[in-house]
């Protein structure tokens, strides 16, 4: 009997104790802030890169210059 107790103790000691992986929970507020930030970023990019860079067609007088105007 003493041998079986010694074997079980050594087997238990040789197995390394691995801590369970920690799952970090994120709150709904963090998720909502991230989604809101992405929406604002997309709107900014559309306004800055598309609407701001769009050139309007020139008026006929601007194309021709100032001929006849003093």
C-alpha 64/C-alpha 18 separation (Å) is 81
pTM for the model: 0.45
Give CA–CA dist 23/21, Å, rounded.
6
Bigger pLDDT: 48 vs 7: 48
Residue 44 tokens, joined: 């900014």
The whole-number average pLDDT for the span 9-26 is 68
* Residue 14 predicted with pLDDT over 90: no
Query: Which position has the higher pLDDT, 22 or 6?
Result: 22
* 22-61 residue pLDDT tens: 767 779 999 999 999 999 999 999 998 887 777 766 666 6
């Amino acid at each position: 009997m003493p041998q079986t107790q010694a074997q079980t103790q050594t087997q238990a000691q040789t197995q390394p104790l691995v801590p369970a992986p920690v799952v970090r929970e994120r709150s709904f507020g963090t998720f909502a802030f991230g989604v809101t930030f992405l929406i604002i970023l997309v709107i900014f990019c559309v306004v800055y890169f598309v609407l701001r860079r769009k050139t309007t067609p020139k008026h006929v007088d601007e194309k021709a210059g100032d001929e006849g105007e003093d």
